[in-house]
Structure 1
Amino acid sequence: MALTEKQEAFCQAYIELGDKSKAYRHAYDADSMNSNSVAVAGNEAFKNPNVSLRIEELQNEIRERNKVKIDDVLSVLADMIRFDISELYDENDNLKSIHDIPKSHRQMISSLKTDHLYGGKEIIGETKEVKTLNKLDVIEKFMKHLGAYEKDNGQKQTNITVSPLMPDEIKKINDSLESTY
């Protein structure tokens, strides 16, 4: 399987970014292309058998290196989708100790911040801020993997056949347009 330098760059970018259009923009000179053209070109690049095989090879290398199976990733994503923010708090609406929060829920936390409130030099209270991952992003990744968008995108395709017009047909159309104005 001999790939060009740009095809290899596309494969590497696709593995990193998970998006055909972004990978195409990364690997090829696409600055003057609109987003639709890039999407079509990215799909075409992806459909190349050598490129698809290389991407599969890279994905297998990553799985083997990390000993992660797709089922493992999907299981984590499924747990994230089922995330309920109430699991972070006790019955008095106080944030639980990090050790009391279930692992699947801790994985949804992107950051924790504690600010102390001072009365002079003495701490009189604290404020805790919890930021969670965007659940819609997690759902989108899950849906992409399941191929839900591919099915939807396939249903949206419209094929239009345009046949060339003869000069006399063009004249008739022009005449009818002129008569309406």
Structure 2
Amino acid sequence: MAKKEKQQRISQERRLTEKQERFCQFYLDTDGNASEAYRMAYDTSNMQPETIWSNASRLLASSKVATRINEIRAERAARSRIEREKVEQVLMDIVTADPNDLYIVDAKTGRIKMKTPSQLPKRMRNALKKIKNNKGVVEYELNGRVEAARLLGSWNGWDAPKEVNVNNTGNMTNEIRIGFGDDQD
């Protein structure tokens, strides 16, 4: 029981006021501009800029506020990671889209019929750019695979050079030779 009471007491000590909480949120929203975050969280209409700066600095120096800012930053980073994973999955769906998923072959007649959007697998719906329905004739347009692959590659560093070989062995001042070995002039 004493442990639970201690945790509750610590929780109450660490709890921020509503304005302090808003300051923490705004601090991160304004890319670390403490004065602007203070103006957004508090009524500063009768304050001098120096007072705002001083109060914002004092808030940032508070261990409770600093701890909360770090917590919010970690929460946002985790959310961003999840959102990025979702976007990367959609891009992978575009890259790996199989046009065969767009139609079915009627077993009786052997005719090809386009699937309705609700019949398409989710990964194929993710890959669709546009659907046209012209009097019952359905046309699908897929997003560009190459562009999706480029975006995935740049996000994951796949397009970065693996190694850069730079030698400065020339006789001229500020000469940089790229890709030449020591034995070549």
Q: TM-score range by the shorter chain?
A: 0.3 to 0.5
TM-score scaled to structure 1, two decimals? 0.43
Largest Rg, 1 or 2: 2
